[in-house]
Structure 1
């Protein structure tokens, strides 16, 4: 079967109308800047546009896995702010492909700077560790782990990415932070050292059937006003919650799973098809500089491997009048 990845997002082109946010990503790689087709739709407000890109086709057969790295994808240029960014797999004519036919395990969108003297080598070899410098998020995780700006998985269709007005992710400049429930934080004097694993295995325990809880306490170097929160999780998740510290055990956001009940794309029975989104009143929750947040991921105890607990939160630097 021939598949196509489709990108859909809306963005603002008049930066005077945007309020900046920092994006915290609490967890097919697409490298921003090979699209074959695009559509641009302008809203009634002329500074907001919606764009859809169809990426390069690929084929995958029954029982097979496709791992694709798409370099220099089409993306709006200039000083913009992104309101939403969504990805799904479609067939040759643009119809949504259900998860039970082709399961989209993960996708990530990563911004990078390329050494132009190595462009041909990179495109032929897909060697991303030589000749490419990632403009990764400013989050806690180390090295190559979780460098993306956007990324989800099979739950993409049912997880809303749209930011509330008047906020948008400003690409220049932009601060991203990543919170991961596998992060083992230790201290080197006054400097926290992070050790994210990105994924983990739920240990086998025959003594009880209680849900498995994974926690991480993560210091926030830079705070802000919480305006959006959601999570990237896997099948068998019960929920994931982010707690604050300043007000003891305050729940900043809980993201709950939605499991499908039918056959149509976006509602495939038994699959994780979405995660709920938090939209707090923009000035109601402020995360302070240096505050320690607690991320708690809860899964059913079914002994899965490679589970994840990534939480995405967007913080506004300031609230507009």
Structure 2
């Protein structure tokens, strides 16, 4: 695949005293068609080089001409930016074969979900255009530190993405929720498909990530025909060169489906990543999902927001004493233009507490509460993103 446009990105130095640089990149193209689900891993994406601090990472879907694509045409279910290190001697083989088993070691965020679940450093979905990713000065996510990269390896980044082309679909909303009955899943689907726990999916699994596999097709309206098209992720990254004036942040993803258990002195996090809101014809109150999540290592809260899906009412993170640490509120679109699509979740609010004003203690048990409308929904998510600083700089530093 070729990069969108045959042009290299340019680095821009923003006109302020903080020496912030920015560049806009384009991912490799992906081909979509009416009703088609596209799930791709794009290795070795363009990314700023060197020992730097990332200040923001913003993503949207564009067409071949660079035009923003509205969610009702191509629904961006999610994009995740994942860090990995690659054995330099195997780089050519990995690039040619796309074999991710040998020569690559993934480096997840600081979150505690089991295995390699929710490993990314940045990532949202349809709400990407309307959710700020900016980190206040002098805070940043430190990457590219040569002292932390193993000999013979190189730090790289990949995109994990899911885009659902909903043009002409029989049920656009249900398609974006990956409802199994609306997709042409194979006849033996439930006999061969395993879930997060490694067990075969129950036939009660009505929808979610496992029914939105690459190249599956949402059912189309009778007689609908439409062209294929090539889309890309356009992403803008802002960063600074790392120096003594920067303050590093740790990044945690908390999940409202996390079922924490204690085995002796060992905590086990059993995150499900998604859940179904069952049909309910009698209760008017919203649907609430809660998880109590111990934080082995705390810090000062610098940024907080949530990755949710359409239908969310709000998401709140509470401290152990019941204090509100952050509430993230949805923004729904009212128009037709990209970024304001009527009825779609187009943004989540972000918390920027005054640095030093909210501290999470080591070992503190946080409560994450995600609230949705009480309507049947599959593939609902309740992921909360927080950036924590171990220390707050002196007062004479500007924010």
TM bin (shorter chain):
0.7 to 0.9
The offset of 1:55, in angstroms, is: 1.4
Q: For residues 89-147 of structure 1, what are the alpha-carbon distances to aligned partners after superposition, in whole Å with 9 as ceiling and x for unaligned?
A: 11122121111111111100000122345545543554434432111112111112111
- My pick for the range that moved more, 234-243 or 209-218, is 209-218
Instruction: Quote the residue 2:274 is aligned against.
Output: 199
- My pick for the range that moved more, 136-145 or 111-120, is 111-120
Output the CA distance in 2 between the equivalents of 1:291 and 1:183.
16
Say if 1:90 and 1:96, in contact at 8 Å, map to a contact too: yes
Is structure 2 residue 46 aligned with structure 1 residue 74? yes
Say if 1:260 and 1:266, in contact at 8 Å, map to a contact too: yes
Output the CA distance in 1 between the equivalents of 2:8 and 2:42.
15
Aligned residues: 290
Structure 2: which 5+ residue stretches go unaligned? 149-248, 395-399
Say if 2:328 and 2:349, in contact at 8 Å, map to a contact too: yes
Aligned partner of 1:65 among 18, 37, 61: 37
* Structure index of larger Rg: 2
Output the CA distance in 2 between the equivalents of 1:58 and 1:301.
35
Aligned partner of 2:139 among 167, 181, 185: 167
Say if 1:3 and 1:91, in contact at 8 Å, map to a contact too: no
Say if 1:69 and 1:126, in contact at 8 Å, map to a contact too: no
What is the TM-score with the length of structure 1 in the denominator?
Answer: 0.85
Instruction: Quote the residue 1:176 is aligned against.
Output: 251
Instruction: Quickly say closer, same or farther: Cα 1:301–1:125, change in 2 above 3 A.
Output: farther
Runs of 4+ in 1 over 6 A off after TM superposition: 2-6
Output the CA distance in 1 between the equivalents of 2:250 and 2:264.
25
Instruction: Quote the residue 1:42 is aligned against.
Output: 13
- My pick for the range that moved more, 261-270 or 35-44, is 35-44
The offset of 1:3, in angstroms, is: 12
- My pick for the range that moved more, 201-210 or 87-96, is 201-210
Is structure 2 residue 384 aligned with structure 1 residue 314? no
Instruction: Quote the residue 1:214 is aligned against.
Output: 289
Aligned partner of 1:241 among 299, 312, 316: 316
Instruction: Quote the residue 1:147 is aligned against.
Output: 119
The offset of 1:261, in angstroms, is: 0.3
Instruction: Quote the residue 1:88 is aligned against.
Output: 60
Output the CA distance in 2 between the equivalents of 1:102 and 1:3.
20
- My pick for the range that moved more, 165-174 or 302-311, is 165-174
Instruction: Quickly say closer, same or farther: Cα 1:300–1:4, change in 2 above 3 A.
Output: farther
Say if 2:280 and 2:375, in contact at 8 Å, map to a contact too: no
Structure 1: which 5+ residue stretches go unaligned? 7-34
Output the CA distance in 1 between the equivalents of 2:281 and 2:93.
51
Which residues of 2 match residues 110-149 of structure 1 at below 5 A? 110-116=82-88, 118-149=90-121
The offset of 1:308, in angstroms, is: 0.5
Instruction: Quickly say closer, same or farther: Cα 1:202–1:4, change in 2 above 3 A.
Output: farther
Output the CA distance in 2 between the equivalents of 1:54 and 1:76.
13
What is the TM-score with the length of structure 2 in the denominator?
Answer: 0.69
Q: For residues 234-257 of structure 1, what are the alpha-carbon distances to aligned partners after superposition, in whole Å with 9 as ceiling and x for unaligned?
A: 000000000001xx2100000000
Is structure 2 residue 124 aligned with structure 1 residue 51? no
Instruction: Quote the residue 1:287 is aligned against.
Output: 360
For the aligned residue pairs, the C-alpha RMSD in angstroms reads 2.2
